Structure 1
Amino acid sequence: MTQPGPPDDAAPAAALEALEDLLLGGHPSLTRVEVCERAGVALEDASHLWHLLGFPHSDDDEVAFTETDVRSLQHTKALIDLGILDQERQDGLVRTWGRSFARLAEWQVDLLTEVSADLGVDLAEGVTALSEQVLPLVEDLQSIVWKRHLMGAWSRVMVSASGEAHRAVCFVDIVGYTSRSKTMTDRELVSWLEDFESAALDTVLEHDGRIIKNIGDELLLVTDTAEQAAAIACKLTHRGEDPDDPFPSVRAGVAYGDVVLRLGDVFGPVVNIASRLTSVARPGTVLIDEGTYLQLTGREHHDDDDARDEDDHDAPYRLRRLRRLSVKGYSRLKAWSLRPRSS
């Protein structure tokens, strides 16, 4: 009987060479020192940029770069020379690029790997063929999506000329996530979370909101008005309480006020308050802060006010004032429970 020989590494090696041509514009032919010399960028500065992007370290004499890397450094230097990127902006932007694209790349490679397996073709052969057909389409689509979001971001900036703006911030948290996740495989858990985010996104977009990020079992979203955030929070919590709806049980917290918008994220006390309210909300409920209360009712709250909020039958929501909450960072936080009057 003929004994099987050693595994043939020729196919994976050929596939990687083909991918280098497609993705990197050719085989590596330059060291990092040569790239910096040709781009006119100090080696120390380039190394700092590559580190922020999450690229592996290479030795000075290691041939690991292509002409594309020269061009990327030239573009970066041009942005710095134009005054677009100072040190602080450069670090923040580049770090965000590195993290975002690394996650996107991992997901896309996993997808193409799964498609190759579904087609029953060899991984090296399948990924190479799919990459040649799919990646140019994906690259163009990513550019289109990015420009659309860029246009939306510019529109919001035109309304608010500074980085600080009034926004409603809402957290939506899955109830019982830890116990349920223990009963799932990794693939089932990822699928479940993706279904949750996809379903939530439909509601968020319906009310002109934006999902800033998902933090495990929690979504952070932002809207321009408190009314939009309240509608989103109420609809999602209502869905979670419907036994015929596969959407998971959730709780939500909404706060309104000044936030700092930076690199697609939001910061400030309003974000912290929304997070704290979510952490103490009961399953299927929405808690709001004083800023949201003012926006929804048009009146300020005073300590000697009673709980007459529910008597306002013309309002779309029922509001019940709670005892002041003691949460991390806020020992006496004013809060109200919120639910649609139709419920």
Structure 2
Amino acid sequence: MIAPESPAEPAIAPSAGPGVLDALEERLLGERPALTQVEVAEQAGMSLEAARELWHLLGFAHAEPEERAFTDSDVQALKNTQALINLGIITQDSQDGLVRTLGRSFARLAEWQVSLLAETALDTGIDPADGILALADEVMPKVEDLQSFIWRRHVLNAASRMLAVAGNGDRASNRAVCFVDIVGYTSRSRTLSDRELVGWLEAFETAALDTVIEHNGRIIKNIGDEVLIVADTAEEAAAIASELTRRGADPDDEFPAVRAGVAYGEVVTRLGDVFGPVVNIAARLTSVARPGTVLIDRGMYAALTGSDSEDTDDADREHTDGLPYRLRRVRRVSVKGYSRLHTWALQPRD
């Protein structure tokens, strides 16, 4: 399930009072805050400036110099960060982006989890403040274990892909990039309440994720009504895009109508995201694709067919014999940043 950008309702009721917040603070941090930021930096063996920079990059609010807002866990966190820097895992070039990404990701996850707990408490007639304390006492240890397990599994998968594709640790490699965009999202969203809209998007994301995993792809991120997908092979990306557009065209399927653009070539991976012209081209093709269609670029055509021929439609038919798709040449597309892209429509054979 993908976390929404912001919670639909406040996580803690305004009437909760400072007593509940004090108790929650102690339970989550392990002790009552008793250290200033100066003391934390000194105990961690780090300069105050470096400690403040990391604190801000993680997305936390500014603390006054004499404010006792920190605990021994903050000291240990700084020590761990310094150890990673000393080992060369966190470099000066990567520090800002890495730490900011961690802070932003966990902030969104925490907002969603606390909001979900508060909604559950309200639905069952429990005071939200009691629900928040239950999170710290009973739910939090289980959530921590689950998050650690999921993280370790994803690290293993990412390392396996890197070793299989690159072998030498390079961050640039040939991959297929696919954007899938909901058709008519703006008009549909106007007819739904906030909760209905979140539920609709989550159903779309869950169904898309099932298809992506089935065909060995990976969802990089959700951008509102759009999903960015990466696959190691052109065939996997073609299968994903074809299946999602097929489902969207089925009137008996609740999956919304979508359109897709797929490009293949060298992609740079950084902090879990992907960059490069191939990503831009896939996005541009999606913006001009008709509802229920999949547009692919020249790189995808060559990867699927083993040919870079552009002569005739007869050549397209020749090169696609035996494939589960038909590739129909369409007029060259001109989009922002790219003029006259060589483009084909990917259509599954009946």
> TM class by shorter-chain length?
over 0.9
Match of 2:244 in 1: 236
Question: Tell me, what secondary structure is at the counterpart of 2:25?
Answer: helix
Q: Give the structure 1 partner of residue 209 of structure 2.
A: 201
Counterpart check, 1:271 vs 2:276: no
> Is structure 2 residue 230 aligned with structure 1 residue 222?
yes
Task: Tell me how far apart the structure 2 counterparts of residues 209 and 168 of structure 1 sit (CA, whole Å).
Answer: 9
- Which residue of 1 is the match for residue 88 of structure 2? 83
**Structure 1: distance between partners of 2:246 and 2:313:** 27
- For residue 140 of structure 1, the aligned residue among 128, 140, 145 is 145
> C-alpha separation between the residues in 2 aligned to 1:307 and 1:100?
49
Q: Distance in 2 between matches of 1:98 and 1:130?
A: 21
Shift of 1:18: 2.3
1:305 counterpart residue number? 312
Measure how far apart 1:22 and its partner are: 2.0
Q: Are the structure 2 counterparts of residues 10 and 242 from structure 1 closer, same or farther at C-alpha, using a change threshold of 3 Å?
A: closer
Q: Which moved more, 1:14-23 or 1:152-161?
A: 14-23
Structure 2 distance, partners of 1:125, 1:338, is 54
1:191 is the counterpart of 2:199 = yes
Q: Using structure 1 for the length normalisation, give the TM-score.
A: 0.94
Matched residue, 1:287: 295
Residue segments in structure 1 that go unaligned for 5+ positions in a row: 1-8
Q: Deviations over 1:182-229 (max 9, x none)?
A: 111111111111100000000000000000000000000100100000
Q: How does 1:51-90 map to 2 (within 5 A)?
A: 51-90=56-95
Which residue of the partner structure matches residue 333 of structure 1?
341
Distance apart, 1:80 and its partner CA: 1.0
Q: Aligned equivalents of 1:224 and 1:314: distance in 2? A: 21
CA apart distance, 1:326 = 0.4
Which deviates further from its counterpart, 50-59 or 14-23?
Answer: 14-23
Q: Which has the larger radius of gyration?
A: 1
> Residues 73, 206 of structure 1: CA spacing in aligned structure 2 closer, same or farther, 3 A cutoff?
same
CA distance in 1, matches of 2:317, 2:257: 25
What secondary structure does 1:256 align onto?
A: strand
The correspondence of residues 25-36 of structure 1 with structure 2, limited to 5 A, is: 25-36=30-41
- Paired residues of 1:290 and 1:301 also in contact (CA < 8 A): no
- Indicate conservation of the 8 Å contact 1:307/1:321, yes or no: no
Q: 1:229-285: CA deviations, max 9, x gaps?
A: 000000000100100000000000010110001111111000001000000000000
1:251, 1:283 within 8 Å by CA — same for their partners in 2? yes
Aligned partners of 1:216, 1:114: CA distance in 2, in Å?
22
Cα contact 2:309–2:315 (8 A) shared by 1? no
Q: CA deviation at 1:117?
A: 1.1
* Residues in 1 aligned to 2:22 and 2:67: alpha-carbon distance in whole angstroms: 17
Q: Percent identity?
A: 65
For 1:206 and 1:59, the matched residues in 2 are separated by 50
SS at match of 1:323: strand
Q: 143-152 or 125-134: which moved more?
A: 125-134
Q: Equivalent of 1:169, from 155, 166, 177?
A: 177
Query: What 5-or-longer segments of structure 2 have no aligned partner?
Result: 1-13
Give the letter aligned to residue 27 of structure 1.
Answer: R
CA contact (8 A) 2:221 2:228 kept: yes
Deviates more, 1:230-239 or 1:43-52: 43-52
Task: Tell me if structure 2 keeps the 8 A contact 1:212–1:265.
Answer: yes
Count of residue pairs brought into register by the alignment: 334
Residue 131 of structure 1 deviates from its aligned partner by: 2.9
